[in-house]
């Protein structure tokens, strides 16, 4: 968030809603729906996504990740959100192109030419970056790269022809170390795809490790006053570990924003194409790639 006049401010804490208590929620308990459309169309200047890995909803919610739980309790969360497929790459592509495109995690090209989030951002004059932990070097857009703790299949923008064919766009793929610098200098882009390494996203390490990474690296963003005013952070998982319901299984999804309904829990059915729709519409972009164009809107999570 381009924090103008950053000050230290802390969101008022709220407790996670407990079973048996009245909850703020809406939606139908069974079956897909058209989602939470209506008047609460979110508009912000900055959208950031953080993707975690391979975890069933029940394992991520309710104790294994206390920091993420605290965010879900304070902000808004989806209780019927499902990944689209297995394994990882197809879900990441759905989040950026509105299509699965491949289910081969070892895919090395050619780059996908389908409409995508980068194309829509550039056309709208928006800035973007992918902040990838342990990326070997800025601008490294090699597909199928597996080196150290960096996995390119968790960094979907490198599979897009818009990035592969343009040195200008490739330069927006940067090491995660630049994130703290950009936050401190009030220089975050309009759209950011944040890629923890294969340990810190719970792919190879514990949920406790992933949760601590979020607390250490993402909490400064959450506490930033300007972010609270004009930002949206989405923390979600790419796919479930041992669940294939609706393609990729039920996963956790949390929307953190000063405009999120406090303590809100949705019972509507959503998948990654709705997150893609929200990511672009929140920035005022109405031409949407692939399945995002017809996906249920996620307006219900936000105040008017």
Domains identified in the chain, total number: 1
Give residue 171's domain range. 35-80+94-238+257-270+286-301
6 domain-assigned? no
What is the C-alpha end-to-end distance of the chain, expressed in Å? 21
pLDDT of residue 53: 98
Angle between helices 66-74 and 207-217 in degrees, nearest 10: 60
266 domain-assigned? yes
25 domain-assigned? no
Q: Hey, which residues does 297 pair with through a beta bridge?
A: 35
pLDDT of residue 8: 36
Q: From first to last of its 304 residues, what are the pLDDT tens digits of the chain?
A: 333 333 333 333 333 333 332 333 443 333 333 344 456 799 999 999 999 999 999 999 988 999 999 999 999 999 999 999 999 999 999 999 999 999 999 999 999 999 999 999 999 999 999 999 999 999 999 999 999 999 999 999 999 999 999 999 999 999 999 999 999 999 999 999 999 999 999 999 999 999 999 999 999 999 999 999 999 999 999 999 999 999 999 999 999 999 999 999 999 999 999 999 999 999 999 999 999 999 999 999 999 8
252 domain-assigned? no
116 domain-assigned? yes
pLDDT of residue 38: 52
Task: Say which residues have a Cβ less than 8 Å from residue 44's Cβ, sequence separation at least 6.
Answer: 230, 231, 232, 257, 259, 282, 283
278 domain-assigned? no
What the block records as the tokens of 49 is 């996504």
Q: What is the 3-state secondary structure (H, E, C) of 224-284?
A: CHHHHHHEEEEEEECCCCCCCHHHCCECCEEEECCCECCCEEECCCEEHHHHHHHHHHCCC
171 domain-assigned? yes
pTM: 0.88
258 and 238 in contact (C-beta within 8 Å)? Answer: no
pLDDT of residue 22: 31
pLDDT of residue 63: 83
247 domain-assigned? no
Element (H, E) at 6: none
pLDDT of residue 177: 98
User: Using omega within 30 degrees of 0 as the cis cutoff, is the peptide bond preceding 42 cis?
Assistant: no
pLDDT tens per residue, range 241-276:
999 999 999 999 999 999 999 999 999 999 999 999
3-state class (DSSP) for residue 146? strand
pLDDT tens per residue, range 2-32:
333 333 333 333 333 333 323 334 433 333 3
């Amino acid at each position: 968030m381009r924090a103008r006049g950053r000050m230290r401010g802390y969101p008022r804490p709220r407790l996670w809603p407990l079973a048996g208590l009245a909850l703020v929620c809406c939606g139908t308990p069974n079956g897909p729906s058209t989602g939470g459309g209506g008047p609460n169309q979110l508009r912000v200047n900055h959208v950031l996504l953080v993707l975690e890995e391979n975890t069933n909803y029940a394992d991520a919610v309710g104790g294994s990740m206390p920091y993420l739980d605290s965010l879900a309790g304070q902000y808004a969360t989806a209780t019927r959100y499902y990944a689209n497929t297995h394994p990882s790459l197809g879900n990441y592509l759905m989040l950026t192109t509105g299509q699965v495109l491949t289910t081969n995690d070892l895919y090395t090209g050619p780059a996908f030419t389908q409409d995508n989030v980068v194309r829509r951002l550039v056309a709208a004059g928006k800035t973007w970056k992918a902040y990838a932990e342990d990326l070997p070097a800025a601008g490294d857009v090699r597909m199928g790269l597996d080196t150290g703790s960096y996995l390119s299949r968790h960094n979907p923008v490198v599979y897009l022809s818009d990035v592969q064919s343009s040195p200008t766009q490739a330069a927006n793929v940067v090491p995660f170390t630049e994130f703290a610098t950009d936050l401190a200098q009030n220089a975050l882009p309009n759209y950011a795809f944040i890629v923890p390494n294969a340990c810190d996203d719970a792919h190879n390490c514990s949920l406790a490790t992933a949760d601590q990474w979020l607390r250490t690296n993402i909490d400064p963003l959450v506490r930033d006053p300007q972010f609270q005013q004009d930002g949206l952070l989405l923390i979600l998982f790419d796919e479930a570990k041992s669940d294939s319901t609706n393609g990729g299984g039920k996963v956790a999804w949390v929307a953190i924003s000063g405009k999120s309904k406090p303590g809100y829990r949705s019972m509507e059915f959503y998948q990654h194409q709705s997150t893609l729709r929200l990511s672009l519409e929140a920035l005022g972009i109405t031409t949407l790639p692939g399945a995002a164009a017809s996906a249920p809107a996620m307006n219900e999570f936000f105040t008017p």
